[in-house]
Amino acid sequence: MALVTGASSGIGEATAVALAAEGATLAVAARRRDRLEALEERLGNDTDVLVIETDITDEAAARAMVAATVREFGRLDILLNNAGVMLLGPIVDAPVEEWSRMVHINLLGLLYSTHAALPHLLKAAETDPRRVADVVNVSSVAGRFARQGSGVYNATKFGVGAFSESLRQEVTRRHVRVSLIEPGATRTELASHNRPEVLEGISASFGQTELMQADDIAESIVFTVTRPRHVAVNEVLIRPTEQER
């Protein structure tokens, strides 16, 4: 049983589809209910799906999301923290509301969701059929390498990496695996929320690069959570072949 945040598009949507193909039951969460309902319809009657319209930056809403999932399905085996935004640009004279938005979604929302889910994941790791549970945090190549024009986005993703490693050390002997997925340039909606001048810079940097697709990242996530109980894939850095940094 998997809970996927940011499931209304991109990597979250693709991973929900891929997990369903593996036979998972799903709770799909995001702010855009219409997109979630379209995903539910796409998955069809063969997959049990719970649609949760929510804003994970609200701690109470994040807790309610997890509670609704467990109430519906009786357990939680996999949490995919995928929701996030990437708002780039110089630090000097930056619109600080963009910083606040990234910190709240990329970092605090992930923390709230994980904290709420952990008791249920620890319980699932003690019971059949899997006797292992997974927290998968979608970070970025920006969580490994800082770049000019990406400072606060870098800060949020470096934070996700630090939190993930600390949590891994805390729960790994209890068979809750914590995995960090770090995609490079991927063709999703992520970049589209930037200001026009920032979009021009992104296009100049990656316009000639063959980007990855959301399905490419979903395959890595499914691989990670389907390893045998004694195997933990802790970190996956995945870039387009043509991406240099």
Residues designated as active site: 153
CB-CB neighbours of 73 under 10 Å: 17
How far apart, in whole angstroms, are the C-alpha atoms of residue 196 and residue 126?
Answer: 50
Q: Give ∠ CA 209-18-219 in degrees, rounded to 5.
A: 45
CA distances 113 to 3, 55, 84, 107, 152, Å, are: 10, 11, 13, 10, 21
Identify the three-state secondary structure at position 52.
strand
What ranges in 57-176 are assigned the alpha helix state H?
59-73, 96-102, 110-124, 151-171
Beta bridge mates, 3 = 27, 79
Nearest C-alpha neighbor of 195 from the set 103, 101, 120, 127: 101
